[in-house]
């Protein structure tokens, strides 16, 4: 019976490396973080676990504005990424022919350079002396003393750019799976091109829309890099605060509490969104 | 509106204004000619099958009728309207797609109602027509189900309902039964024929299955390499194939090389090997003397050559006789198949019903093959099309128009 015994244990054995990894590098740090978020004290006297729930309420009161701004920026960036990404993914999936792979490669090409470099590049592109600002001033969109850098627009644009591939790829994957015969069937059943898209292609691509918006929104809400390079403290997002609480102010309990609050907020938003999108079987 | 046998309303009386007319239709994909100067008239209310092997252009022709493919040249007329340049959603034609293409995100009701909603039907009228149609395809009460919950046969019926509910002038069926197993396919063939008889809409059916085409269609267009090889009713095509391709694609044929040697009243004599075979004159193509003489395997009677000789080397008592050696015998249940080698390097297949089996019919035995001249046909060897010298009019309801296929089928 050793054969069946080994067979019974095999799945657990296969789970072991991943499980261990997650335990050591996810579960343990999460517990540490949870404990930190309930501590009290100062860097000099050391932090002690006192189950101080007030860390959370104080964090919410103090950084309410940053929370709201984070979700606002992330929401706008996600929407922009959807508006930019959907037509692109559609063309790659249905019209690109032999150019499909080239276009897909171009979509992921930014990943060949680091996130930081790309954001720094945007800093140069949007700089006060850069050609974008110059051109916008020439056509009169920007006033003479106007600037792009250090504005909300720059931060949202940076976030949109950085997470666009996370929107396009799931959209492409789900559009590409749609059998063109569904569209033909819709046209055969008196739907013009727009109706065929709205009644057939769009609903069938919803799993991709949900996946893409989640993959964009979640990291965007916690982002702090774009604000640092493209914004100012007055655009600071919750990620910025957590970053500085941990690494600059060294106020670990507040930073930990903020981290948990961010996670919770994202979780609540995602659950509400997925329910509303009616695609619970897909996520 | 009439009421059909089981209480389902007949959708529309066929009107002569709904005649489909394909004029010199051609479709090229790059260098490949998928449909080659095709002409065809389909009368309203008929059931036509495009039959042919894959790549013969049958599906492309159907898609051009539906508007899903644009012809390279030629026109598509529906009644007095040239619909060649109309978008698919502007054509009063609906399609049952291969593998059905039912919308997976909609339930059965919404699938069936899709076309009606687009044309502005709503409320009680929509409800009534959807229910009526689900009843016609024998799926009442299935409206709230989702597509994957249905079996292949049920999905097939939904696809049919989704198309027919719009009261199209023509229903296009693209290999609609291809995904079903044999038993279900047989059942659906009868079912489709019943529905067509009920609703009296023109059905244009694409298939590579000759049995399916023969069971359902009143007219079959046998297609090969983008052209119609022969057009006619199932019996006509089977009994009098005009080309080698048709003779072999519809059932099996024994084709023997021969030369037309003489005429005897309304009969022609063809010498095959050292024998003479009699063929009705109207079944012999005009033109060259070199022909292929054909006879279907089940029309031949096989007997042991040791019995009383009925032949004198030709046509005595009006029958055709050949002698040969039995090469192979295989029992298939319904019939027994005999393969007979003729003295001049030719073989003949015989299907015999298992009524009285002669024990002497074993491989190696000398045998005699007999069949009636009426069961014999002749065609020009190797040609795609052979004009016949009879002048009978083509079978209604499908007419052949002057043009390319006129010489494919006959010159009358």
Q: Is the peptide bond before A234 cis (omega within 30 degrees of 0)?
A: no
Closest CA to B390 of B239, B177, B204, B218: B239
Asked if residue B399 has pLDDT above 80, the reply is no
Mean pLDDT (chain A, rounded): 90
Mean pLDDT (chain B, rounded): 84
Residue B112 has which token pair?
A: 């069936």
Domain with CATH 3.40.50.300 in chain B: 16-92+168-238
| Domain B16-92+168-238 class, CATH top level | alpha beta
Asked if residue B283 has pLDDT above 60, the reply is yes
Dist. CA A259–CA B144, nearest whole Å = 45
Asked if residue B320 has pLDDT above 70, the reply is yes
Model confidence pLDDT, tens digit, residues A226-235: 999 999 888 8
* Residue in B with minimal Cα distance to A203: B105
- The shortest C-alpha distance from A117 to chain B (Å) reads 43
Question: Cβ distance B1 to B9 under 8 Å?
Answer: yes
Model confidence pLDDT, tens digit, residues A209-231: 999 999 999 999 999 999 999 99
ipTM: 0.80
Cβ of A189 within 8 Å of Cβ of B101? The answer is: no
- The shortest C-alpha distance from B119 to chain A (Å) reads 7
Among the ranges given (B33-37, B241-245, B285-289), the one the predictor scored with the smallest mean pLDDT: B285-289
3-state secondary structure of B286: coil
Asked if residue B266 has pLDDT above 90, the reply is no
Q: Given this model, what pLDDT does residue B158 score?
A: 95
Cβ of A184 within 8 Å of Cβ of B99? The answer is: no
Domain with CATH 2.40.50.100 in chain B: 244-379
Residues of chain A contacting B166 with CB distance shorter than 8 Å: 189-190
Dist. CA B234–CA B220, nearest whole Å = 6
Q: Given this model, what pLDDT does residue B315 score?
A: 41
Residues of chain A contacting B97 with CB distance shorter than 8 Å: 181, 184-185, 188
Model confidence pLDDT, tens digit, residues B329-339: 998 888 899 99
Asked if residue B398 has pLDDT above 60, the reply is no
- The shortest C-alpha distance from B212 to chain A (Å) reads 24
Q: What is the mean pLDDT of residues A158-181?
A: 95
Q: Check residues A83 and B99 and name the one with the higher pLDDT.
A: A83
Q: Given this model, what pLDDT does residue B13 score?
A: 55
Q: Given this model, what pLDDT does residue B276 score?
A: 86
- Does the domain spanning A62-282 belong to CATH 3.90.180.10? no
* Residue in A with minimal Cα distance to B115: A189
Looking at domain B244-379, its CATH architecture is Beta Barrel (2.40)
Interface test with B, best of A175, A183, A188 (most B CBs within 10 A): A188
Give the Å distances, CA to CA, from A59 to A74, A236, A252, A255, A258.
20, 15, 12, 8, 6
**Nearest-CB residue to A189 (from B68, B94, B105):** B94
What is A192-228 written as a DSSP string? -HHHHIIIIIHHHHHHHHHHHHHHHHHHHHH--HHHH
Question: Cβ distance A169 to A81 under 8 Å?
Answer: no
Cβ of A187 within 8 Å of Cβ of B88? The answer is: yes
Residues of chain A contacting B89 with CB distance shorter than 8 Å: 187-192, 196
Q: What is the mean pLDDT of residues B363-381?
A: 89
């Amino acid at each position: 019976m050793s054969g069946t015994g080994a067979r019974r244990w095999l799945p657990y054995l296969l789970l072991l490396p991943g499980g261990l990894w997650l335990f050591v590098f996810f579960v343990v740090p999460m517990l540490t973080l949870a404990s930190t978020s309930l501590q009290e004290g100062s860097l000099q006297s050391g932090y002690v676990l006192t189950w101080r729930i007030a860390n959370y309420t104080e964090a919410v009161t103090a950084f309410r504005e940053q929370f709201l701004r984070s979700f606002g920026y992330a929401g706008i960036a996600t929407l922009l990424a959807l508006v930019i990404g959907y037509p692109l993914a559609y063309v790659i999936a249905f019209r690109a022919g032999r150019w499909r792979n080239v276009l897909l490669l171009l979509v992921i090409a930014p990943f060949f350079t680091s996130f930081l470099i790309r954001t720094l590049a945007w800093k140069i592109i949007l700089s006060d002396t850069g050609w974008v600002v110059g051109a916008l001033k020439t056509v009169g969109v920007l006033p003479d003393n106007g600037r792009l850098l250090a504005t909300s627009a720059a931060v949202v644009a940076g976030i949109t750019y950085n997470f666009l591939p996370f929107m396009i790829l799931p959209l492409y994957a789900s559009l590409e799976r749609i059998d063109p015969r569904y569209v033909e069937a819709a046209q055969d059943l008196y739907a013009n091109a727009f109706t065929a898209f709205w009644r057939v292609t769009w609903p069938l691509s919803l799993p991709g829309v949900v996946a893409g918006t989640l993959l964009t929104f979640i990291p965007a809400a916690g982002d702090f890099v774009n604000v640092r390079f493209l914004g100012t403290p007055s655009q600071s997002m919750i990620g910025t605060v957590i970053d500085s609480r941990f690494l600059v102010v060294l106020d670990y309990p507040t930073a930990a509490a903020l981290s948990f609050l961010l996670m919770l907020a994202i979780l609540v938003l995602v659950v509400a969104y997925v329910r509303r999108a009616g695609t619970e079987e897909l996520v | 509106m009439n009421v059909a046998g089981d209480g389902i309303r007949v959708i529309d009386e066929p009107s002569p204004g709904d005649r489909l007319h394909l004029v010199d239709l051609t479709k090229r994909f790059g260098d490949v000619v998928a449909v080659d100067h095709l002409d065809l008239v389909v009368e309203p209310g008929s059931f036509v099958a495009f039959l042919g092997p894959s790549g013969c252009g049958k599906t492309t022709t159907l898609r051009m009728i539906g508007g899903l493919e644009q012809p390279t040249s030629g026109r598509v007329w529906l009644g007095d309207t040239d619909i060649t340049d109309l978008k698919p959603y502007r054509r009063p034609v609906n399609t049952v797609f291969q593998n059905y293409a039912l919308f997976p995100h909609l339930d059965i009701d919404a699938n069936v109602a899709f076309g009606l909603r687009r044309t502005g039907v709503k409320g009680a009228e929509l409800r009534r027509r959807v229910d009526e149609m689900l009843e016609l395809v024998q799926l009442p009460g299935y409206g709230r189900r989702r597509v994957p919950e249905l079996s292949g046969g049920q999905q097939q019926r939904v696809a049919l309902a989704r198309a027919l509910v719009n009261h199209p002038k023509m229903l296009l069926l693209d290999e609609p039964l291809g995904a079903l197993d044999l038993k279900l396919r047989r059942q659906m063939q009868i079912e489709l024929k019943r529905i067509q008889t009920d609703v009296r809409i023109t059905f244009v059916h694409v298939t590579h299955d000759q049995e399916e085409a023969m069971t359902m269609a009143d007219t079959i267009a046998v297609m090969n390499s983008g052209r119609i090889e022969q057009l006619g009713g199932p019996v006509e095509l089977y009994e009098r194939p005009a080309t080698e391709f048709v003779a072999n694609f519809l059932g099996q044929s024994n084709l023997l090389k021969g030369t037309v040697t003489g005429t005897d009243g309304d009969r022609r004599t063809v010498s095959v090997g050292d024998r003479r075979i009699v063929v009705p004159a109207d079944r012999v193509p005009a033109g060259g003397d070199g022909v292929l003489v054909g006879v279907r395997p089940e029309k031949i009677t096989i007997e042991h050559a040791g019995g009383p000789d009925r032949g004198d080397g030709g046509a005595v008592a009006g029958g055709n006789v050949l002698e040969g050696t039995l090469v192979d015998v295989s029992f298939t249940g319904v019939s027994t198949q005999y393969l007979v080698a003729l003295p001049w390097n030719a073989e003949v297949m015989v299907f015999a019903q298992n009524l009285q089996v002669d024990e002497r019919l074993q491989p190696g035995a000398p045998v005699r093959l007999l069949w009636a001249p009426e069961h014999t046909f002749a065609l020009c060897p190797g040609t795609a099309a052979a004009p016949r010298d009879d002048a009978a009019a083509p079978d209604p309801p499908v007419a052949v128009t002057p043009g390319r296929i006129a010489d494919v089928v006959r010159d009358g």
